[in-house]
Amino acid sequence: MTATATATLHAVPADSPFRRVARKFFSDRLAIVSLAAILLFFLVAVVAALCTWKGLPMPMSPNATNLSGKLLPPSAANWLGTDNLGRDVLSRMVGGSTISLTVGFVAMAVSLGIGIVVGAISGYFGGWADNIIMRLVDALLCFPSFFLILSAIALLGPNIWIIIAVIGLVGWTGTARLVRAEFLTLRESEYVRAARALGQSGRKIIFRHILPNAFAPIFVTAIISIPDAILIESGLSFLSFGVPPPQATWGNIIADGKTYFLDAWWLVVFPGLAIFSASLAFYLAGDALRRAASAR
Protein backbone atom coordinates (compact mmCIF):
# COMPACT_ATOMS: atom_id res chain seq x y z
CA MET A 1 0.00 0.00 0.00
CA THR A 2 1.38 3.41 -0.96
CA ALA A 3 1.89 6.27 1.48
CA THR A 4 -0.94 8.22 -0.19
CA ALA A 5 -3.37 5.32 0.17
CA THR A 6 -2.35 4.82 3.78
CA ALA A 7 -2.93 8.50 4.53
CA THR A 8 -6.30 8.38 2.83
CA LEU A 9 -7.29 5.28 4.80
CA HIS A 10 -6.44 6.94 8.09
CA ALA A 11 -8.22 10.14 7.05
CA VAL A 12 -11.54 8.33 6.60
CA PRO A 13 -13.29 8.04 10.00
CA ALA A 14 -14.47 4.62 11.09
CA ASP A 15 -18.17 3.97 10.72
CA SER A 16 -19.53 3.97 14.28
CA PRO A 17 -22.35 1.64 15.39
CA PHE A 18 -24.56 4.68 15.98
CA ARG A 19 -24.08 5.85 12.39
CA ARG A 20 -24.82 2.39 11.02
CA VAL A 21 -28.03 2.13 13.03
CA ALA A 22 -29.09 5.68 12.08
CA ARG A 23 -28.40 5.02 8.40
CA LYS A 24 -30.46 1.82 8.41
CA PHE A 25 -33.25 3.48 10.40
CA PHE A 26 -33.61 6.46 8.07
CA SER A 27 -33.50 4.21 5.00
CA ASP A 28 -36.77 2.65 6.18
CA ARG A 29 -39.73 4.62 4.79
CA LEU A 30 -42.09 3.31 7.45
CA ALA A 31 -39.66 4.47 10.13
CA ILE A 32 -39.55 7.97 8.64
CA VAL A 33 -43.36 8.16 8.49
CA SER A 34 -43.71 6.99 12.11
CA LEU A 35 -41.02 9.43 13.26
CA ALA A 36 -42.79 12.28 11.44
CA ALA A 37 -46.06 11.35 13.16
CA ILE A 38 -44.33 11.31 16.57
CA LEU A 39 -42.80 14.72 15.92
CA LEU A 40 -46.22 16.06 14.86
CA PHE A 41 -47.86 14.82 18.07
CA PHE A 42 -44.97 16.23 20.08
CA LEU A 43 -45.27 19.62 18.35
CA VAL A 44 -49.02 19.74 19.01
CA ALA A 45 -48.44 18.89 22.69
CA VAL A 46 -45.79 21.60 23.06
CA VAL A 47 -48.01 24.21 21.38
CA ALA A 48 -50.93 23.17 23.62
CA ALA A 49 -48.76 23.50 26.73
CA LEU A 50 -47.62 26.98 25.65
CA CYS A 51 -51.20 28.04 24.92
CA THR A 52 -52.30 26.84 28.35
CA TRP A 53 -49.40 28.65 30.01
CA LYS A 54 -50.13 31.91 28.16
CA GLY A 55 -53.92 31.58 28.41
CA LEU A 56 -54.38 31.43 24.63
CA PRO A 57 -57.17 29.50 22.81
CA MET A 58 -56.21 26.30 20.98
CA PRO A 59 -58.08 27.09 18.70
CA MET A 60 -60.82 27.70 21.27
CA SER A 61 -60.80 27.40 25.03
CA PRO A 62 -61.05 23.64 25.73
CA ASN A 63 -63.32 24.14 28.74
CA ALA A 64 -65.59 26.88 27.33
CA THR A 65 -69.17 25.58 27.31
CA ASN A 66 -71.96 26.56 24.92
CA LEU A 67 -75.16 24.64 25.59
CA SER A 68 -76.87 26.17 22.56
CA GLY A 69 -74.22 24.57 20.34
CA LYS A 70 -73.89 21.12 21.91
CA LEU A 71 -73.39 17.91 19.91
CA LEU A 72 -72.76 19.76 16.67
CA PRO A 73 -71.17 17.64 13.90
CA PRO A 74 -67.81 18.56 12.36
CA SER A 75 -68.04 21.85 10.46
CA ALA A 76 -65.97 24.83 9.37
CA ALA A 77 -66.53 26.46 12.78
CA ASN A 78 -65.82 23.30 14.79
CA TRP A 79 -63.58 21.02 12.74
CA LEU A 80 -64.17 17.97 14.97
CA GLY A 81 -67.60 18.94 16.29
CA THR A 82 -68.70 19.75 19.83
CA ASP A 83 -69.50 17.60 22.86
CA ASN A 84 -72.55 17.39 25.12
CA LEU A 85 -71.63 20.70 26.80
CA GLY A 86 -70.87 22.53 23.57
CA ARG A 87 -67.09 22.36 24.04
CA ASP A 88 -64.91 22.24 20.94
CA VAL A 89 -63.62 18.68 20.51
CA LEU A 90 -60.52 19.73 18.55
CA SER A 91 -59.43 22.13 21.31
CA ARG A 92 -59.97 19.45 23.94
CA MET A 93 -58.00 16.90 21.93
CA VAL A 94 -55.13 19.36 21.46
CA GLY A 95 -55.10 19.98 25.20
CA GLY A 96 -55.34 16.26 25.92
CA SER A 97 -52.25 15.57 23.80
CA THR A 98 -50.12 17.28 26.44
CA ILE A 99 -51.43 14.96 29.14
CA SER A 100 -51.03 11.81 27.07
CA LEU A 101 -47.47 12.51 25.91
CA THR A 102 -46.39 13.80 29.33
CA VAL A 103 -47.61 10.59 30.94
CA GLY A 104 -45.99 8.50 28.21
CA PHE A 105 -42.53 10.10 28.31
CA VAL A 106 -42.21 10.72 32.06
CA ALA A 107 -43.58 7.31 33.07
CA MET A 108 -41.17 5.74 30.57
CA ALA A 109 -38.27 7.67 32.12
CA VAL A 110 -39.24 6.50 35.63
CA SER A 111 -39.62 2.84 34.66
CA LEU A 112 -36.48 2.95 32.51
CA GLY A 113 -34.36 4.39 35.32
CA ILE A 114 -35.55 1.82 37.84
CA GLY A 115 -35.29 -1.05 35.36
CA ILE A 116 -31.73 -0.17 34.31
CA VAL A 117 -30.45 0.10 37.89
CA VAL A 118 -32.18 -3.06 39.10
CA GLY A 119 -31.32 -5.09 35.98
CA ALA A 120 -27.68 -3.93 36.03
CA ILE A 121 -27.22 -4.94 39.67
CA SER A 122 -28.91 -8.29 39.11
CA GLY A 123 -27.07 -9.14 35.89
CA TYR A 124 -23.60 -7.93 36.84
CA PHE A 125 -23.26 -9.16 40.42
CA GLY A 126 -25.44 -12.29 40.16
CA GLY A 127 -25.56 -14.63 43.16
CA TRP A 128 -27.92 -13.92 46.01
CA ALA A 129 -28.67 -10.39 44.74
CA ASP A 130 -29.82 -11.79 41.40
CA ASN A 131 -31.97 -14.43 43.09
CA ILE A 132 -33.72 -11.94 45.38
CA ILE A 133 -34.31 -9.37 42.62
CA MET A 134 -35.61 -11.91 40.12
CA ARG A 135 -37.99 -13.42 42.65
CA LEU A 136 -39.33 -9.93 43.33
CA VAL A 137 -39.76 -9.37 39.59
CA ASP A 138 -41.54 -12.72 39.23
CA ALA A 139 -43.88 -11.83 42.09
CA LEU A 140 -44.76 -8.48 40.49
CA LEU A 141 -45.35 -10.12 37.12
CA CYS A 142 -47.92 -12.42 38.73
CA PHE A 143 -50.26 -9.45 39.18
CA PRO A 144 -52.02 -7.89 36.17
CA SER A 145 -50.28 -4.53 35.87
CA PHE A 146 -53.38 -2.54 34.88
CA PHE A 147 -55.40 -3.70 37.88
CA LEU A 148 -52.42 -3.04 40.14
CA ILE A 149 -52.25 0.51 38.78
CA LEU A 150 -56.02 0.89 39.05
CA SER A 151 -55.95 -0.19 42.71
CA ALA A 152 -53.13 2.23 43.52
CA ILE A 153 -54.91 5.15 41.82
CA ALA A 154 -58.14 4.30 43.66
CA LEU A 155 -56.27 4.48 46.99
CA LEU A 156 -54.09 7.52 46.26
CA GLY A 157 -56.52 9.55 44.18
CA PRO A 158 -56.51 10.62 40.53
CA ASN A 159 -53.68 13.04 39.83
CA ILE A 160 -51.39 13.26 36.82
CA TRP A 161 -48.20 12.95 38.87
CA ILE A 162 -49.57 10.08 40.92
CA ILE A 163 -50.61 8.35 37.68
CA ILE A 164 -47.12 8.85 36.21
CA ALA A 165 -45.42 7.60 39.37
CA VAL A 166 -47.62 4.51 39.67
CA ILE A 167 -47.23 3.57 35.98
CA GLY A 168 -43.46 4.02 36.24
CA LEU A 169 -43.17 2.07 39.49
CA VAL A 170 -45.19 -0.83 38.10
CA GLY A 171 -43.75 -0.93 34.58
CA TRP A 172 -40.02 -1.39 35.28
CA THR A 173 -40.02 -5.18 35.48
CA GLY A 174 -39.74 -5.81 31.73
CA THR A 175 -36.84 -3.40 31.40
CA ALA A 176 -35.09 -5.00 34.38
CA ARG A 177 -35.32 -8.47 32.84
CA LEU A 178 -34.00 -7.20 29.52
CA VAL A 179 -31.07 -5.35 31.11
CA ARG A 180 -30.25 -8.37 33.26
CA ALA A 181 -30.14 -10.62 30.18
CA GLU A 182 -27.85 -8.17 28.36
CA PHE A 183 -25.54 -7.87 31.37
CA LEU A 184 -25.32 -11.64 31.83
CA THR A 185 -24.05 -11.87 28.25
CA LEU A 186 -21.76 -8.85 28.21
CA ARG A 187 -20.10 -9.34 31.60
CA GLU A 188 -18.20 -12.33 30.20
CA SER A 189 -16.87 -10.42 27.17
CA GLU A 190 -13.16 -9.81 26.67
CA TYR A 191 -13.22 -6.06 27.27
CA VAL A 192 -15.04 -6.50 30.60
CA ARG A 193 -12.47 -9.09 31.71
CA ALA A 194 -9.70 -6.71 30.70
CA ALA A 195 -11.33 -3.90 32.69
CA ARG A 196 -11.51 -6.16 35.75
CA ALA A 197 -7.87 -7.12 35.29
CA LEU A 198 -6.94 -3.43 35.28
CA GLY A 199 -8.66 -3.02 38.64
CA GLN A 200 -11.59 -0.89 37.53
CA SER A 201 -14.52 -0.68 39.93
CA GLY A 202 -17.83 -2.42 39.28
CA ARG A 203 -19.63 0.90 38.92
CA LYS A 204 -17.16 2.06 36.26
CA ILE A 205 -17.39 -1.23 34.37
CA ILE A 206 -21.19 -1.12 34.43
CA PHE A 207 -21.64 2.47 33.23
CA ARG A 208 -18.58 2.81 31.01
CA HIS A 209 -18.22 -0.58 29.36
CA ILE A 210 -21.38 -2.72 29.62
CA LEU A 211 -24.28 -0.26 29.59
CA PRO A 212 -23.25 1.57 26.37
CA ASN A 213 -23.09 -1.78 24.55
CA ALA A 214 -26.55 -2.72 25.84
CA PHE A 215 -28.03 0.65 24.90
CA ALA A 216 -29.73 -0.36 21.62
CA PRO A 217 -32.22 -2.94 23.00
CA ILE A 218 -32.83 -0.75 26.05
CA PHE A 219 -33.67 2.23 23.83
CA VAL A 220 -36.05 0.10 21.76
CA THR A 221 -37.80 -1.03 24.95
CA ALA A 222 -38.06 2.61 26.10
CA ILE A 223 -39.77 3.68 22.86
CA ILE A 224 -42.23 0.79 22.98
CA SER A 225 -43.10 1.51 26.63
CA ILE A 226 -44.32 5.04 25.77
CA PRO A 227 -47.52 3.89 23.97
CA ASP A 228 -48.12 1.39 26.78
CA ALA A 229 -48.23 4.29 29.24
CA ILE A 230 -50.47 6.31 26.91
CA LEU A 231 -52.91 3.40 26.62
CA ILE A 232 -52.94 2.87 30.39
CA GLU A 233 -53.63 6.56 31.03
CA SER A 234 -56.41 6.54 28.43
CA GLY A 235 -57.94 3.46 30.02
CA LEU A 236 -57.80 5.04 33.47
CA SER A 237 -59.41 8.25 32.17
CA PHE A 238 -62.11 6.24 30.41
CA LEU A 239 -62.91 4.53 33.72
CA SER A 240 -62.90 7.93 35.53
CA PHE A 241 -59.71 7.08 37.44
CA GLY A 242 -57.50 9.33 35.35
CA VAL A 243 -56.83 13.06 35.40
CA PRO A 244 -59.94 14.67 36.96
CA PRO A 245 -62.17 16.97 34.88
CA PRO A 246 -62.41 19.60 33.55
CA GLN A 247 -58.88 18.79 32.29
CA ALA A 248 -59.31 17.09 28.93
CA THR A 249 -57.58 13.84 28.05
CA TRP A 250 -58.16 11.57 25.10
CA GLY A 251 -59.59 8.92 27.41
CA ASN A 252 -62.15 11.09 29.20
CA ILE A 253 -63.29 12.64 25.90
CA ILE A 254 -64.24 9.13 24.81
CA ALA A 255 -65.82 8.47 28.23
CA ASP A 256 -67.96 11.62 27.92
CA GLY A 257 -69.01 10.70 24.39
CA LYS A 258 -69.83 7.01 24.80
CA THR A 259 -73.39 7.85 25.92
CA TYR A 260 -73.99 9.84 22.73
CA PHE A 261 -72.18 7.51 20.34
CA LEU A 262 -75.19 6.84 18.09
CA ASP A 263 -75.96 10.56 17.73
CA ALA A 264 -72.44 12.04 18.02
CA TRP A 265 -69.96 9.48 16.67
CA TRP A 266 -67.18 12.10 16.46
CA LEU A 267 -66.85 12.18 20.26
CA VAL A 268 -65.50 8.62 20.19
CA VAL A 269 -63.98 8.24 16.74
CA PHE A 270 -61.59 11.21 16.68
CA PRO A 271 -59.97 10.76 20.11
CA GLY A 272 -59.88 7.02 19.46
CA LEU A 273 -58.00 7.65 16.22
CA ALA A 274 -55.58 9.93 18.09
CA ILE A 275 -54.81 7.20 20.65
CA PHE A 276 -54.46 4.59 17.90
CA SER A 277 -52.26 6.78 15.68
CA ALA A 278 -49.91 7.87 18.47
CA SER A 279 -49.53 4.33 19.81
CA LEU A 280 -48.99 2.86 16.34
CA ALA A 281 -46.37 5.50 15.49
CA PHE A 282 -44.32 4.66 18.59
CA TYR A 283 -44.64 0.91 18.04
CA LEU A 284 -43.56 1.20 14.39
CA ALA A 285 -40.64 3.47 15.29
CA GLY A 286 -39.50 1.05 17.99
CA ASP A 287 -39.78 -1.93 15.65
CA ALA A 288 -37.84 -0.11 12.92
CA LEU A 289 -35.13 0.78 15.41
CA ARG A 290 -34.96 -2.84 16.57
CA ARG A 291 -34.48 -4.03 12.99
CA ALA A 292 -31.83 -1.37 12.37
CA ALA A 293 -29.94 -2.28 15.54
CA SER A 294 -30.03 -6.04 14.84
CA ALA A 295 -29.00 -5.72 11.17
CA ARG A 296 -25.38 -6.45 10.28
pLDDT in tens, 113-146: 999 999 988 988 888 888 999 999 888 888 888 8
7 burial type by CB count under 10 A (0-12 exposed, 13-18 middle, 19+ buried): exposed
Model confidence over 168-191: pLDDT tens digits? 998 899 899 999 998 888 888 888
How confident is the model at residue 16, as a pLDDT?
Answer: 62
d(CA 233, CA 164): 9
Question: What is the distance between the alpha carbons of residues 153 and 159, in angstroms, rounded to a whole number?
Answer: 8
DSSP code at position 210: I
Stated pTM of the model:
0.85
Helix, strand, coil content of the chain in percent (nearest 5): 75, 0, 25
pLDDT single digits (tens) 14-24? 456 677 778 88
- Residues 88-94 have a mean pLDDT of 91
| Residue 99: count of CB within 10 angstroms of its CB | 26
Cα separation, 14 vs 10, in Å, equals 9
What is the C-alpha separation between 250 and 273, in angstroms, rounded?
Answer: 10
Confidence at 194, pLDDT banded by 50, 70, 90: confident
The CATH fold assigned to 39-52+81-294 is MetI-like fold (1.10.3720)
Question: Which residue, among 196, 221, 216, 218, has the nearest Cα to 206 in the 3D structure?
Answer: 196
